[in-house]
Amino acid sequence: MASHSAGTQRTAAGGEIAVSGWVAFAAIMMIFGGIMAIFEGIAAIAQDDVFASTRNFTFQWNLAGWGWLHLILGIVMTLAGVALFKGATWARVVGVVVVGLSMLANFAWLPWYLFWAITLIVVDAVVIAALCAAPRRDASA
């Protein structure tokens, strides 16, 4: 049985997760980043002309393959972000893992979209820091 109080949800197992502050920020950024990764994946799968491969990069990957990876990561990231808003403690762990994988995928994405990949790597790093921050304790407990 769960009880609600001022932005904090307490689960039956005694665990609590704050759904405000850093966790809310991480959830919003995960939903936004997940949706953007979905669009990025769809564009790559469709072999869209938006992506221009630069020369002499160490990493040369199949664009459609990376599109599928971004699509799947985007869906999982969006669902984990929504679960964070619902107070699911497991969503923090899933979020850290999925956002970490997103960082790696965006690193390998550098040859196709340099500025966007660097931007998403920085956003992912901030989201991981937000998810790993200690949750706020309820003073009345």
pLDDT at 3: 44
Q: What is the pTM of this model?
A: 0.72
b or e along 99-124 (b: 16 or more beta carbons within 10 Å of the residue's beta carbon)? bebbbebbebbbbbbeebbeebbebb
Our separate counts of H helices and E strands in the chain read 4, 3
pLDDT at 36: 87
For residue 129, what are the contacts with CB-CB under 8 A and spacing of at least 6? none
Does residue 2 carry a pLDDT above 60?
Answer: no
pLDDT above 90: percentage of residues in the chain: 27
Going from N- to C-terminal start, the domains of the chain cover 19-132
- 26-71 pLDDT, tens digit per residue, is 999 999 989 988 988 898 888 755 555 556 554 556 777 778 888 9
pLDDT at 94: 93
